[in-house]
């Protein structure tokens, strides 16, 4: 089971020094707004991916009066993961004392899913958020995906550079186009395989959460980023003048998207804020189910401010669905009772109180 048993933080935002012995299933972190609850979740996400789920910048995570932050964790299987981040130097990350050049191994060891206010970007944000959501799942269940995805990124960068050049080298462009089309086909195939597997699991999960909600079923559609009936080679040829004009590749897997509709209308225009949170919750829970089915393991859920936007009944539905995954949950809230009321008597949990960056449990 992918879960943490120990977490140590030093100089992460307003948390100067903390050690948490985590429960393998449910951990409730409560305290006033601004106390440092979310910083704990943010530290775990940073350790697992090198990124914050709150901001594109990571340097603000270092406490204002410190030169570096450190995060150390031990898994239930006794694997040791550490991260040292300084303001002006590259991060140093280790897995069982061995320095890691990238986050690939750690990301697979600590599969993290976040459910927070920014999760609404899946519905109201641009395609990038939805691609990231899709690619998280594809990365974990289609192990050849990452190499092909990296190849497409390299091809796009080089192709765009050629398109911006004052003297276009058509032979180089043709070579990059060939490699781009091959890798793009593999990326699209992996995404489509995952999406086809994901769709029925999502529908079932959403029906469980939205039962008696008076909302029509939500339909999802995957768009690969270019016309589904035309090979990418032909699309690139037909759009060459447009690409040249903008100095950027307009079609390809970097333009993929997922649409969410209720009937014929975008879901964001039909669903209430609470209903949107149920939809987003169903998306993240379904991802955890697919991960468990394929990998025979569980992911870790970071749930920031579960009570927000949900009434007590729907809050209980979401929490019980999450607990049914047998995943490790770290849930933040202001009032401990707002989560405890949603638990069954048999549920075990560790609780931590945060006040001005100090954590007691």
In this prediction, residue 306 carries a pLDDT of: 79
For the question of whether the overall pTM of this predicted structure is more than 0.85, the answer is yes
Q: Say whether pLDDT at 342 is over 90.
A: no
The region, left, alpha or beta by phi > 0 then psi within -120 to 50, assigned to residue 38 is: alpha
* CB contact at 8 A, 1 and 298: yes
271 domain residue, yes or no: yes
In this prediction, residue 341 carries a pLDDT of: 86
17 domain residue, yes or no: no
73 domain residue, yes or no: no
In this prediction, residue 113 carries a pLDDT of: 96
In this prediction, residue 89 carries a pLDDT of: 83
- Stretch (H or E) spanning 135: helix 127-141
In this prediction, residue 215 carries a pLDDT of: 63
Q: Report pLDDT digits (tens) over 63-117.
A: 999 999 999 999 999 999 999 998 888 889 999 999 999 889 999 999 999 999 8
29 domain residue, yes or no: no
Q: Say whether pLDDT at 3 is over 90.
A: yes
* 36-56: average pLDDT: 92
Q: Report pLDDT digits (tens) over 159-192.
A: 999 999 988 999 999 999 999 999 999 999 999 9
> Percent of the chain at pLDDT above 90?
77
List the beta bridge partners of residue 19. Answer: 8
Chain centroid to Cα 86, Å, comes to 24
Q: Say whether pLDDT at 346 is over 60.
A: no
313 domain residue, yes or no: no
In this prediction, residue 303 carries a pLDDT of: 95
pLDDT band (50, 70, 90) for residue 213: low
pLDDT band (50, 70, 90) for residue 60: confident
Q: Say whether pLDDT at 272 is over 90.
A: no
In this prediction, residue 92 carries a pLDDT of: 93
79 vs 217 pLDDT, higher one: 79
pLDDT band (50, 70, 90) for residue 57: confident
Q: Report pLDDT digits (tens) over 126-163.
A: 999 999 999 999 999 988 999 999 999 999 999 999 99
* 188-199: average pLDDT: 97
208 domain residue, yes or no: yes
157 domain residue, yes or no: yes
228 domain residue, yes or no: yes
The region, left, alpha or beta by phi > 0 then psi within -120 to 50, assigned to residue 145 is: alpha
Q: Give the DSSP per-residue string, 250-278.
A: -SSGGG-EEEEEETTEEHHHHS-HHHHHH
Q: Which domain holds residue 272?
A: 119-296
Q: Report pLDDT digits (tens) over 281-319.
A: 999 999 999 999 999 899 999 999 877 778 888 889 999
The overall average pLDDT reported for the chain is: 92
Q: Which CATH number is 176's domain given?
A: 1.20.1050.90
State how many domains the chain has: 1
* 265-276: average pLDDT: 90
In this prediction, residue 120 carries a pLDDT of: 85
Beta strand pairing call for 92-95 and 80-86: antiparallel
Q: Say whether pLDDT at 1 is over 80.
A: no
In this prediction, residue 300 carries a pLDDT of: 97
In this prediction, residue 311 carries a pLDDT of: 82
Q: Say whether pLDDT at 214 is over 80.
A: no
């Amino acid at each position: 089971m992918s879960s943490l048993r120990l977490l140590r933080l030093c100089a992460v935002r307003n948390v100067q020094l903390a050690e948490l012995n985590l429960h393998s299933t449910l951990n409730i972190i409560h305290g006033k707004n601004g106390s440092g609850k979310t910083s704990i979740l943010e530290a775990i996400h940073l350790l697992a991916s090198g990124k914050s789920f709150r901001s594109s910048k990571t340097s603000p995570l270092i406490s204002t009066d410190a030169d570096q932050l450190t995060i150390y964790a031990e898994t239930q299987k006794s694997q040791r993961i550490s991260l040292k981040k300084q303001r002006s130097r590259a991060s140093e990350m280790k897995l069982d004392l061995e320095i890691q050049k990238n986050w690939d191994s750690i990301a697979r060891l600590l599969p993290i899913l976040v459910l927070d206010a920014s999760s609404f970007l899946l519905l109201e944000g641009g395609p990038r958020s939805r691609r990231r959501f899709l690619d998280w799942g594809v990365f974990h269940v289609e192990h050849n995906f990452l190499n092909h995805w990296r190849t497409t990124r390299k091809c796009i960068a080089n192709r765009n550079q050629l398109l911006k050049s004052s003297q276009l080298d058509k032979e180089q462009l043709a070579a990059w186009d060939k490699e781009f089309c091959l890798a793009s086909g593999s990326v699209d195939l992996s995404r489509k395989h995952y999406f086809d597997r994901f769709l029925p699991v999502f529908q079932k999960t959403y029906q469980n959460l939205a039962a008696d909600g008076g909302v029509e079923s939500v339909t999802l559609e995957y768009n690969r980023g270019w016309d589904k009936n035309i090979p990418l080679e032909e699309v690139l040829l037909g759009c060459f003048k447009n690409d040249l004009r903008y100095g950027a590749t307009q079609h390809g897997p970097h333009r993929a998207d997922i649409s969410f509709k209720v009937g014929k209308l975008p879901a964001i225009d039909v669903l209430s804020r609470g209903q949107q949170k149920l939809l987003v919750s169903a998306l993240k829970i379904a991802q955890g189910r697919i991960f468990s089915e394929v990998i025979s393991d569980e992911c870790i859920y970071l749930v920031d401010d579960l009570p927000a936007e949900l009434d007590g009944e729907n809050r209980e539905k979401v929490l019980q669905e999450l607990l049914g995954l047998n995943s490790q949950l770290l849930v933040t809230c202001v009032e401990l009772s707002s989560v405890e009321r949603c638990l069954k008597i048999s549920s075990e949990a560790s609780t931590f109180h945060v006040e001005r960056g100090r954590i007691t449990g």
